[in-house]
């Protein structure tokens, strides 16, 4: 379980959020929403342990993440604004590198993940020669390879077309139905009217 407790964050003398409290349990799908500059990225980075709040804390499995970073990061898949895709490596090599970093090798799983994100036939092209949306798809293919319980995804739909959104909705849904948790932001329509989705709005005041 992820618990966000009484988080307060001030940037440039502006309170982005104050006393923000919510939690995610297995099976939860939560969208952080709000206008440009509301603090969505700032919040996700704090929850992922990549930024500091002015007060409050983030707990994973009942313990502050600052006291157990290794355990927390073993359960976390974080995808930020930048894709983390290496331009010189092909789509396949990028994913093989990703898996190896986590001590795993499964070429069949990589082929399948690339097919899921619509990159079958483009596996051997250096990522630097792929389009923006194809690059994002390489990064998102990690979702099919990951065994992490908590996904924190900042604008995963950037440059993704409508068909790609449907594919992502399906993998999010599968993850939460298997007991995972997904926390994400997007300015695009996703899970419209879907009973699974919970929304938390920033910048509404």
126 has which bridge partners? 90
Nearest distance, CB of residue 20 and ligand ATP, angstroms: 13
Task: Work out whether 95 is an interface residue with ligand ATP (CB under 6 A).
Answer: no
Axis crossing angle, helix 91-101 with helix 132-140, rounded to the nearest 10: 30
Q: CA angle 170-172-174, nearest 5°? A: 70
Residue among 62 and 82 whose Cβ is closer to ligand ATP: 82
Task: Work out whether 48 is an interface residue with ligand ATP (CB under 6 A).
Answer: no
Residue among 10 and 171 whose Cβ is closer to ligand ATP: 10
Task: Work out whether 38 is an interface residue with ligand ATP (CB under 6 A).
Answer: yes
Task: Work out whether 40 is an interface residue with ligand ATP (CB under 6 A).
Answer: yes
H or E element in which residue 9 lies: strand 2-11
Residue choice 4, 17, 29, 34 for contact with ligand ATP (CB under 6 A): 34
Task: Work out whether 84 is an interface residue with ligand ATP (CB under 6 A).
Answer: no
Read off the tokens for 91: 């789509």
Residue among 40 and 175 whose Cβ is closer to ligand ATP: 40
Nearest distance, CB of residue 38 and ligand ATP, angstroms: 4
H or E element in which residue 113 lies: helix 107-116
Nearest distance, CB of residue 113 and ligand ATP, angstroms: 27
Residue choice 4, 7, 16, 65 for contact with ligand ATP (CB under 6 A): 16
Q: Number of residues in contact with ligand ATP, rule: CB under 6 A? A: 11
CA–CA dist 77, 123 (Å, integer)? 23
Output b/e per residue, 154-171; b: 16+ Cβ within 10 A.
bbbbeebeeebbebbbeb
CA–CA dist 109, 28 (Å, integer)? 26
Residue choice 42, 90, 134, 186 for contact with ligand ATP (CB under 6 A): 42
CA–CA dist 188, 160 (Å, integer)? 10
Which residues make up the interface to ligand ATP (CB under 6 A)?
A: 11-12, 16, 34, 36-42
């Amino acid at each position: 379980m992820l618990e966000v407790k009484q988080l307060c964050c001030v940037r440039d003398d502006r309170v982005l959020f104050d006393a923000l409290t919510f939690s995610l349990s297995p099976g939860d799908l939560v969208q952080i929403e709000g206008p440009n500059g509301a603090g969505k990225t700032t919040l996700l980075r704090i929850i992922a342990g990549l930024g500091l709040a002015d007060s409050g804390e983030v707990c994973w499995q009942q313990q502050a993440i600052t006291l157990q970073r290794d355990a927390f990061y073993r359960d976390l898949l974080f995808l930020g604004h930048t894709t983390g895709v290496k331009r010189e490596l092909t789509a396949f090599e990028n994913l093989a590198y990703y898996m190896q970093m986590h001590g795993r090798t499964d070429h069949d799983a990589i082929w399948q993940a690339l097919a899921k994100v619509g990159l079958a036939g483009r596996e051997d092209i250096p990522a630097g020669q792929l389009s923006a949306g194809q690059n994002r798809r390489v990064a998102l293919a990690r979702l099919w390879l990951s065994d992490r319980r908590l996904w924190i995804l900042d604008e995963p739909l950037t440059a993704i077309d409508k068909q790609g959104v449907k594919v992502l909705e399906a993998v999010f849904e599968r993850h939460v139905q298997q007991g995972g948790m997904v926390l994400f932001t997007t300015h695009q329509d996703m899970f419209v009217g879907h009973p699974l989705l919970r929304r938390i709005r920033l910048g509404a005041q």
